[in-house]
Structure 1
Amino acid sequence: MGKLLPVFVALISILPFLCNSFSPESPTDRRVLVLLDDFAIKSSHSLFFKSLKSRGFNLDFKLADDPKIALQRYGQYLYDALILFCPTIERFGGSVDVAAILEFVDSGRDLIIAADANASDLIKEVATECGVDFDEEPGAVVIDHISYAVSDIEGDHTLIASADFIKSDVILGSKKIEAPVLFQGIGHSLNPANSLVLKVLSASPSAYSSNPSSKLSNPPSLTGSAISLVSVVQARNNARILVTGSLTMISDRFFRAGVQKAGSPTKHKKSGNEQFLTELSKWVFHERGHLKALNVTHHKVGEAGEPSMYRINDELEYSVEIYEWSGTNWEAYVADDVQVQFYMMSPYVLKTLSTDKKGLYSTAFKVPDVYGVFQFKVEYQRLGYTSLSLAKQIPVRPYRHNEYERFIPAAFPYYGGAFSMMIGFFIFTFVHLYSK
């Protein structure tokens, strides 16, 4: 017994860590595969990786052409997220290819793609499948002769200082990014047929995409605010993707660099790159904007149990609890635009749910005077948040023969007609029999 006591004490001491590691409650991705062109990127982009590690992510660094890399084994995924910092890779190693990456995203996992002016066709193909089209002109980068970053060396204005951010606190955080973001790389456009792609950082109206070492013979294919510098995608399965045309913007050099936008007297001691990309990575890895719904219930007014069916014109109550992941725990989600539909082929009832600001959303309404198989449906989609799709099926029956009122007010004229006919017949008979 004395020999087993230290082992027992050791098991008790690591139990909290085991429970935390395998907790199904957290939506935050933890195992991240980072594919690199060169291991030098690990040190040149150390501040970004350090930020991820400080938030509890386990990063596995591998060369993109490593013949041993794999995303899954025996049908189980080994990682929760994938970072591609390998813009020049022509072919992935191991079992990784474009199809494997798309299947990885289709399983609900997250992806970060960083390209540059020398991006390979492989990286561009992955981005295209995600709804983003990089400029195909060889050597093309984003150039801006008005919104460029002031530097000691007069260059070709390919170093851009952009502050055209998406207006969304859930994606970029509630703290305002004061300094412009430094960007140097390739621009891209969004596929107009893909409504799931959003521009997070846009180029200014004076920007265009071209090769700075060659003269313009034709108008550039990408110009103005149509150029996206950084974009995000939230798939219908709530997988999230980040695409940027500049690997350099994530580097330690740009994180620490000062910035002054041309034409502006303000010189910032530090660019907005670190804050921008840190907050954006929190959103991509579901540390913010992730919703879950619990305890979907419905019942008749005045009752507690959920019935197997409703009768037409019943009064009912519907409720659901919605919470948001804050990065460390679940907190009550507060909004005024959550709606429920009572649906059969089309919505017969559409009600906005009221909230107690503690996570509970509820409403009450009358079952329509139509019988059939209905559904309680909540389809909630809001910019930056994971979508919620809830459905519960319930049949609605008509009144039984013994549940109708004895006398229906609408039928009083018919009742009057029947009784007047009987009285008239009685009077006619009496008069006919006893009159001379």
Structure 2
Amino acid sequence: MAKLRIRPTLPLTLLHLFLLLLLPIGSLSFSPESPTDRRVLVLLDDLSLKSSHSLFFASLQSRGFFLDFKLAEDPSLALQRYGEYLYDALILFSPSADRFGGKVDVLDFVDSGHDLIFAADSSASDFIKSIATECGVDFDEDPSAVVVDHNGYAVSETDGDHTLIAADDFIQSDVILGKAKIEAPVLFKGIGHSLNAANSLVLKVLSASPSAYSANPSTKLSSPPTLTGSSISLVSVVQARNNARIMIAGSLDMFSNRFLRAAVQKAGSSIKYEKSGNEQFVTELSKWVFHERGHLKAVNLRHNKVGETDEPAMYRIKDDLDFAVEIYEWSGQSWEPYVANDVQVQFYMMSPYVLKTLSTNQKGLYHTSFKVPDVYGVFQFKVEYNRLGYTSLSLSKQASVSLFSLLTT
């Protein structure tokens, strides 16, 4: 990801407020207290995608999203007005676009903390591929290459070139894909990508099988393919350091009504599913991308001497203290207690002098007690929490430690 840039917003004038009120009802609902995205700009290569992919769009609308459909080349496109963002998230279903009309800077949008669903296919332009590269993935440089799998293809009346794949190698993460297991394979037809090894923020969500490779299916291989086996990612996600989320898929068809409704049988398997796993997969993954799941907040960080309730101006060395913080997870509708056994606090000055795993009451409260170290100076209570699929937490509070107790003994 490009380095995050923070831009000051312009103060709202009465005119700005009036113009913002012209936005659709509910468009101002995104806030730290309600972190789910609501206003989504959908950029299309062709408006016919509104019909061919209507089931996916309808699932978003049924969950309360406002979708604004535009052609990618529309010269009136804008993500901001008077320094205020008009949208919370962006869906790019425009793989062949050579540029965007109007004023659309996708990377700046993500750097500002907004979310992105990005689908490419064999028509993907260099411009679209370059956006993916900035997000931490690299599509095959061969413009004619698609993912081929002679063992993991989807059985059909005309098996053809085995570019219609039945993929079932999912990331093992309930927070990203939901708690209900995806039983049926996902139908995928498109291009593969690799992950940038230098980018620790990008994860494979759906991988190709060990027998897959990326090449032009209509020509004989003259050299080994660049992308092979399970190193090929079909769908990846990124959670940026500012907690913006990105989904990158190499198949636009994967979201289509045809693939969502289709039966699927993987080559070599006797099981035929009446419905592919596509609808469950794209629905659950979109919930994660749009912060309906896996979004944490920490509040009420506090500390005090054991037996007291007020926060002291200063601790003395070897004082006994209590520390507590509350952590909640957004359910898509409300804040619920977050329950985990791996939240820690550091009592920190240049390096951690105390590192404690916090206990929880299962209702959102995390707490511990410890003795102030035999060192005086300015310390910090620090909670740094990073767990796969969850927004990261980083909070701190300063506390001074005095040598006073030694002078009185």
1:58 is matched with which residue?
66
Report the 3-state secondary structure (helix = DSSP H, G, I; strand = E; otherwise coil) of the residue aligned with 1:275.
helix
- CA-to-aligned-CA distance 1:25-45 (integer Å, 9 cap, x gap): 110010000000000001100
In structure 1, which of residues 100, 120, 126 is the aligned counterpart of residue 125 of structure 2?
120
Give how far 1:147 is off: 0.5
Moved runs in structure 1, 4+ residues, more than 6 A? 17-20
Q: Which residue does the alignment assign to 2:55?
A: 47
2:235 equivalent in structure 1: 230
Match of 2:184 among 179, 182, 185: 179
Distance 1:22 1:375 in 2: 32
Partner of 1:329: 334
How far apart are the structure 1 equivalents of 2:286 and 2:280?
Answer: 10
Pick from 366, 369, 378: which aligns with 1:373? 378
Q: Quickly say closer, same or farther: Cα 1:18–1:250, change in 2 above 3 A.
A: closer
CA contact (8 A) 2:29 2:38 kept: no
Distance 1:89 1:122 in 2: 7
Q: Which residue of 2 aligns with 1:106?
A: 111
Q: How does 1:221-370 map onto structure 2 within 5 Å?
A: 221-370=226-375
Query: 1:80 — aligned with what?
Result: 88
Q: Distance in 1 between matches of 2:102 and 2:26?
A: 31
Worse-superposed segment, 50-59 or 19-28: 19-28
Separation (CA, whole Å) in 1 of partners of 2:28 and 2:109:
25
Distance 2:163 2:307 in 1: 68
Give 1:294 deviation, angstroms.
0.7
Percent identity over the alignment is 76
Instruction: Determine helix, strand or coil for the equivalent of 1:92.
Output: coil
Asked which structure has the greater CA Rg, the reply is 1
5+ residue gaps, structure 1: 1-16, 406-436
Residue 71 in structure 1 maps to residue 79 in structure 2: yes
Which amino acid in structure 1 is aligned with residue 63 of structure 2? R
2:159 matches 1:154? yes
Q: Distance in 2 between matches of 1:119 and 1:346?
A: 48
SS class of match (2:404): coil
Q: CA deviation at 1:18?
A: 7.8
Q: Distance in 2 between matches of 1:308 and 1:144?
A: 66
Amino acid at match of 2:350: M
In structure 1, what is the equivalent of residue 401 of structure 2? 396
Is contact 2:379–2:399 with CA below 8 Å preserved after alignment? yes
Relative to total residues, which structure has the larger helix share, 1 or 2?
Answer: 1
Aligned to 1:278, the other structure's residue is in SS state: helix
Pairwise CA distance, 1:213: 1.3
The one-character-per-residue Cα deviations of 1:365-422 (angstroms, maximum 9, x if unpaired) are 0000000111100110000000000111111110267x522xxxxxxxxxxxxxxxxx
Instruction: Quote the residue 1:216 is aligned against.
Output: 221
Q: Report the CA distance between 1:352 and its aligned residue.
A: 0.3
Residues of 1 paired with 2:337 and 2:239: CA distance? Answer: 22
CA gap 1:175/1:118 in 2 versus in 1, 3 angstroms: same
Q: Contact 2:122/2:144 (CA < 8 Å) preserved in 1?
A: yes
Q: CA deviation at 1:301?
A: 0.4
- DSSP 3-state at the match of 1:241: strand
Partner residue, 1:424: none
CA contact (8 A) 2:161 2:217 kept: yes
* Pair 1:36-2:6 in alignment: no
Q: Which amino acid counterpart does residue 104 of structure 1 have in structure 2?
A: F
TM-score of the superposed pair, with normalisation by structure 2: 0.92
Tell me the SS of whatever aligns to 1:25.
Answer: coil
Q: CA deviation at 1:103?
A: 1.0
Aligned 8 A contact 2:385 2:394 in 1? yes
Matched residue, 2:101: 93
Distance 2:364 2:385 in 1: 15
Q: Name the residue aligned to 1:5.
A: none
Amino acid at match of 2:335: W
Provide the aligned C-alpha RMSD in A: 1.4
Partner in structure 2 of residue 136 of structure 1? 141
Q: For 2:29 and 2:373, locate their aligned partners in 1 and report how far apart those are by CA, in whole Å.
A: 48
